[in-house]
A and B are shown apart, each in its own frame.
Chain A
């Protein structure tokens, strides 16, 4: 059994711009760098691209949240696409990649360029992130029920940590493994934002952002863009590197689009993943996992959602950081994740999984990757899970 997409589409190209805390470079330029790199990696020219998808598109969210819209890249690169889709209303950030895959599988395009560009490092550095009252008037929508209470994403993630402590006995010592392992991985990634060593003692004595969530549990705003090319499977023969096969996809958006909207706030989604019903592989076959880490606790949710461990046991599962380390049973987020690598907003997770599947991750390469799992999305933003593997 394989996904309907498995025999139809591949990830043919990947590309990334410079990544930095505050590069001070134009966001469109960074986005174009990533897009051109992905197209060249796919062995194509811009004239071959006949589809464009992106997340979040021309968003109204905070400064720098969207580095370049679909129309910006359409104009800047002179693409003449038949199929376009860009927007924030999606099953998590990777919904834009799924859109690209569906467009190719459905015959709407042969080569779709898909990107996520973010510029929060520079945009927020120019002035503090806008908060309550900064734009005047009553906050609306989701913010109407957060800002009057001084609540941000970090506070909501902190309450998820606390709920896991209450229900499952999670400890800070266990949670620390995520930040510590990702920092060790980041030291092997020249593009990572943070590469100073981090140990348990430093973690436990770190500044609290929102007790029990400390600064090392929070990802870091950055500037950077990541791009992919999704092609028809026939293009695999033209590549000068291994192609990435899409073994299975699983998307969900069952919960209300609010941080507190999940039926069970200890989970990533109120619907358990159905991805293992869509493949003959099993969870035991996964050699590498990219798990979304906007906050460290989301990794715990994804470990349970994929079934790497039983519900409520993710804390014990990672208690010994060796298990999820580069040479452990289940290496995760080998580029450093978003905690140490920067908030590339899920696209960095997919990029690293592609490198691992292609055997191109350099010093942080996991041996003989047969199956890679990618889980992106958090706190009821909708989720997308992928299983990727080398072409057989």
Chain B
């Protein structure tokens, strides 16, 4: 199934603890449900949004973050508000 990259926030948390190098708190972790199929759940980070402004059911859209580790290149799907 082709995905539009749009979804809604099912639930989220504002992480406050430094678990990993390179992940400086606070940051938002969320489950996003693609608009095309509500049986699917995507674990992701919400970006370009203040933690206090996140709400249940908030429309979001995908934005890819390019990560390079040596010769390995990946594009990580993050989500931002879909105004």
Contact = CB atoms under 8 A, between A and B. Distances in A.
B11 A163 contact: yes
25 contacts: A131-B20, A133-B20, A133-B21, A138-B74, A148-B74, A148-B76, A149-B43, A149-B76, A150-B19, A150-B23, A150-B29, A155-B13, A155-B15, A158-B15, A159-B12, A159-B29, A159-B31, A160-B11, A166-B11, A208-B14, A210-B13, A210-B17, A211-B51, A260-B31, A265-B10
A132 B13 contact: no
B interface, over-half SS: strand
Interface of A: 131-133, 137-138, 145-152, 154-155, 158-163, 166, 207-213, 259-260, 263, 265
Given A159-B31, A260-B31, A211 B45 contact: no
Interface of B: 10-17, 19-23, 26-27, 29-31, 39, 41, 43-45, 51, 56, 67, 69, 72, 74, 76
Contacts of A212: 13
B29 A151 contact: yes
A interface, over-half SS: mixed
B23 A163 contact: no
Contact of A150 (B12, B27, B69): B27
B69 to A, nearest CB: 8
Contacts of B16: 207-211
Given A159-B11, A260-B31, A145 B43 contact: yes
Contact of B20 (A147, A162, A210, A259): A147
A131 B21 contact: yes
